[in-house]
Structure 1
Amino acid sequence: MSTVYDVTTWTVPGNPAVTCWTDVGAVINSIIAAVKAGQPDQNSKPGAVIYLPPGDYPLKTRVEVDVSYLTIKGSGHGFTSSSIRYNSGDTSSWWEIWPGGSRIRVQNTDGRAEAFRVARTGNPRLSSVVFENFCLDGVGFTPDQNSYRNGKVGILVDTANDAFRIERMGFVYLERALVVRDADALSVSDNFIAECGNCVELIGSGQASKVTDNLIGAGYVGYSLFAEGHEGLLVTANNIFPRGKSAIQFRNTNRSSITANRLHGFYPGMITFEGLNKENLVSGNHLRREAEPWGPMQPYGNGRDDLFGVIQLRGDNNLVTGNLIAWYVDPAKITPAGATPTMILVASGASNVIATNHVVANVGVKTVVLDATTTGTRVLDSGTAAQFQAYTGSYAFRATP
């Protein structure tokens, strides 16, 4: 019995009128039911591959994934900018205007928010589910194409999981692209996730996971990458585009690394820690902060002012070192008006180290600011004495020579 299923050749038992061209969600659910029926032996469940050849597939019914060792894959992530299309007016002369490749149009006329929900109770937890090389397209935001709101979720992993992989995918125009709860050894790698309200959300808890080598860019309403309750998360070599409320946001996350990323942002708070975060490394990142240059998006923002910090740190024993912050904003666009912008704000916590960071700016800035509740912070070679400000007496400071 074959364990490779092609959605274009699958017939739904008892309902041949349902095809991948009418509802690919119903077809994939039918295939998963067949996989479970064909692999009932507890000792032998090799799983299966569900293949989406290049094409446009409407998804009207949420896919329910409740089996391990399942790969859902296509042959092309098919991403193209929907924001440029919707803000361009006349596209009649364009070569193409919609995402391509193996593209699923998330319509969800069943009233469910998610295109794919991955969940199973009992033991063991789901393992080794793979989403690979196809496009999840939310089609449009309503009623405002620049709102990043449509209630649609690309993939929701809703129960504890182990060794999942999301690779070479395309996500566009979804309110929430990828949401993974309670992940262990998750790999999110080499994806194109942009023009979504939130791009990657790692919620609940997690350990020993990685978000690497992605091209990511959320809208002003949400996060390009959000992680909470994680231990040992590796965030490396991502190219993160502007407009996310935060490029990277950690909440109560410990012993994790944000390293060697290129971050471009139009708003304060590009890297933000909230809650209590311990023993994290923020190193070797290139942060470029500018003002929004594109007319259609200039009315929007993330609600933070320039005293918030390009990096805002909260927690204990974190190390922020070797980062380059390149800050260029027209003085007339600084908020509050007349303020001296903050590059790194240590907002709370004890025994943090800020060392050998380099700031390039078109105006006078405070490279490091310590709030009053901080204790034992060491600030080394990260700005001149005039660029450093402390509202606490509990610190050590060595100015950049």
Structure 2
Amino acid sequence: MSTVYDVTTWTVPGNPAVTCYTDVGAVINSIIADIKANQPNQWSKPGAVIYLPPGDYPLRTRVTIDVSYLTIKGSGHGFTSSSIRYNSGDTSSWWEIWPGGSRIRVENTDGRAEAFRVARAGNPRLSSVVFENFCLDGVSFTGNQNSYRNGRVGILVDTANDAFRIERMGFVYLERALVVRDADALSVSGNFIAECGNCVELIGSGQASKVTDNLIGAGYVGRSVFAEGHEGLLVTANNIFPRGASLIHLKNTNRSSISANRLHGFYPGMIVFEGLNKENLVSGNHLRREAEPWGPMQPYGNGRDDLFGVIQIRGDNNFVTGNMIAWYVDPTKIRPVGATPTMVLVASGTGNVVATNHMVTNVAAKHVVLDATTVGTRVLDSGTAAQFQAYTTNHAFRATP
């Protein structure tokens, strides 16, 4: 029994006309059926590897994964910018214009949104599924190539899962690149995920997972990294670049760390906490906020003004410390017109701490602002008295010496 499959040599039983060059989705589904047929023993299901050699493969049928211990891997994430291509006009002199490597073109004609849907009811939950080192290319944002809308999803993990890995992948021009529900010990590491409406969405709930060492950049309509209901999430050492509506967005997430990331954004709200978030650490990040410099994208934005904060915190006992915010925006582009921009806004919650952050701005700014509903916030060495604004008396403040 073989447990290593090559999509270029697989023949679909009863339908040899279907190949990886006509519909790689149908081929992978056929391989998964073979894996299940050859591993019926409850006591011995080692799983398998499905290999995608470098090449272009159209996916017209959604792949459904309902087995554990499956690795789907290629030999090159193949990312290249599609936004530059679509906004360049004449590309006739370019060396190449499309993503390469082991590239799957997401062209679903089966009425499904996802290239891969991973789901299984019953027990145990799916475990140890790996996506590694190939490209998922949504090809086009039909109609308006700057819309980030085409309804296409790269990978949807739709039921509880354990120890999944998404590593060294390339995702481009998908409305939603990676969506994982109810993750336990998930690793999203070393990927290139950009020019997608949303890049990484961890939904439902999760624990002890990590998003590390990725190159990420969502569109203005979505989020680069979003997590809800998570406990102990690690978001570390990512290079997150424009132009996400938010770069890191936590919702009802506790005891998690956002640390040592480099964040570059064109809009307010680069790090956002939504709902009730407790005991999270935001530490050692480098944030650079500018206005959109590129003509084709200047008409777009995320709908927030500069009073929203570069970092906005909601929840209790969160710690924002040791971050660098470099804010350089032409005064004529500040919104509302004439406003004094906010760097860190504590919008709600009790017992939050903002300490020893360094902020450099080209205009007068409020380094830390406390909304009226906040209680017991401590602001230490993160700005002068003139750079601090509190709409509550229930706080402690120590000015930067």
The residue correspondences of 1:190-229 to structure 2 (distance < 5 A) are 190-229=190-229
Q: Quick one: distance in 1 between partners of 2:373 and 2:139? A: 46
CA shift, 1:194, in A, is 0.0
Q: Which string of whole-angstrom CA distances, capped at 9 and with x for unpartnered residues, describes residues 279-312 of structure 1? A: 0000000000000000000000000000000000
- For the residue of structure 2 that corresponds to 1:14, the secondary structure is coil
* Corresponding residue number in structure 2 for 1:315: 315
Partner of residue 383, structure 1: 383
Does the alignment pair 1:305 with 2:305? yes
5+ unaligned residues in a row in structure 1: which ranges? none
Whole-Å Cα distance in 2 between the matches of residues 242 and 173 of structure 1?
A: 15
Letter paired with 1:70? L
Matching of residue 21 in structure 1 with residue 21 in structure 2: yes
What residue identity is the alignment partner of 2:361?
Answer: A
Matched residue, 2:333? 333
Helix, strand or coil for the counterpart of 1:211?
Answer: strand
Q: CA deviation at 1:45?
A: 0.3
Per the alignment, in what secondary structure is the counterpart of residue 200 of structure 1?
strand
1:112 alignment partner AA: R
- Deviation string 1:206-259 (CA, Å, 9 cap, x unpaired) is 000000000000000000000000000000000001110000000000000000
- The AA in structure 2 aligned to 1:13 is P
User: Which structure 2 residues correspond to residues 92-241 of structure 1 after superposition, within 5 A?
Assistant: 92-241=92-241
Q: What is the deviation of 1:27? A: 0.1
- Supply the distance in 2 between the matched residues of 1:219 and 1:380 (Cα, whole angstroms): 34
Q: Does residue 31 of the first structure (1) align with residue 20 of the second (2)? A: no
3-state SS, counterpart of residue 131 of structure 2: strand
**What CA distance in whole angstroms lies between the structure 1 residues aligned with 2:56 and 2:203?**
31
Amino acid of the residue matched to residue 162 of structure 1?
Answer: D
- AA matched with 1:139: V
> Cα RMSD over matched residues?
0.2
3-state SS of 2:33 partner:
helix
Inter-partner Cα distance in structure 1 for 2:21 and 2:389: 61
> Counterpart of 1:21 in structure 2: which amino acid?
Y
Sequence identity percentage: 89
SS of match in other structure, 2:25: helix
Query: For the residues of structure 1 that align with 2:397 and 2:242, how far apart are their CA atoms?
Result: 32
Q: For 1:142 and 1:293, locate their aligned partners in 2 and report how far apart those are by CA, in whole Å.
A: 24
- Residue 2 of structure 1 deviates from its aligned partner by 1.2
d(CA) in 1 for partners of 2:142, 2:338: 37
Pair 1:255-2:255 in alignment: yes
Report the CA distance between 1:369 and its aligned residue: 0.1
CA shift, 1:20, in A, is 0.1
Q: How does 1:5-16 map to 2 (within 5 A)?
A: 5-16=5-16
| Separation of aligned partners in 2, 1:22 and 1:391 | 62
The within-5 A match list for 1:33-52 is 33-52=33-52
Rounded Cα–Cα distance in structure 2 between residues aligned with 1:357 and 1:175 = 35
1:242 aligns with 2:270: no
What is the Cα deviation at residue 142 of structure 1? 1.4
| CA distance in 2 between partners of 1:239 and 1:365 (Å) | 26
Per-residue deviation, residues 313-341 of structure 1 (Å, max 9, x unmatched)? 00000000000000000000000000000
What displacement does 1:205 show? Answer: 0.0
SS in 2 for 1:30: helix
What is the CA deviation profile of residues 83-122 of structure 1, one whole-angstrom value per residue up to 9, with x for unaligned ones? Answer: 0000000000000000000000000000100000000000
Taking the aligned partners of 2:250 and 2:184, their CA distance within structure 1 comes to 17
* Amino acid corresponding to residue 356 of structure 1 in structure 2: T
1:368 corresponds to which residue? 368
What residue ranges of structure 2 are gaps of 5+ in the alignment? Answer: none
SS at match of 2:389: strand
Amino acid at match of 1:322: G
SS at match of 2:273: strand
Structure-2 separation of matches of 1:215 and 1:21: 29
Q: Which amino acid aligns with 1:266?
A: F
Instruction: Give the aligned partner of residue 57 of structure 2.
Output: 57
Deviations 1:251-282 (A, max 9, x none): 00000000000000000000000000000000
The alignment status of 1:70 with 2:73, answered yes or no, reads no
Cα distance in structure 1, aligned partners of 2:357 and 2:263: 15
How far off its partner does 1:143 sit? 1.0
For residues 146-168 of structure 1, the C-alpha deviation after alignment (integer angstroms, 9 at most, x for no partner) is: 00000000000000000000000
The number of equivalent residue pairs is: 401
Shift of 1:26: 0.1
Q: CA-to-partner distance for each residue in 1:52-85, whole Å, 9 max, x for gaps?
A: 0000000000000000000000000000000000
TM-score (norm 1): 1.00
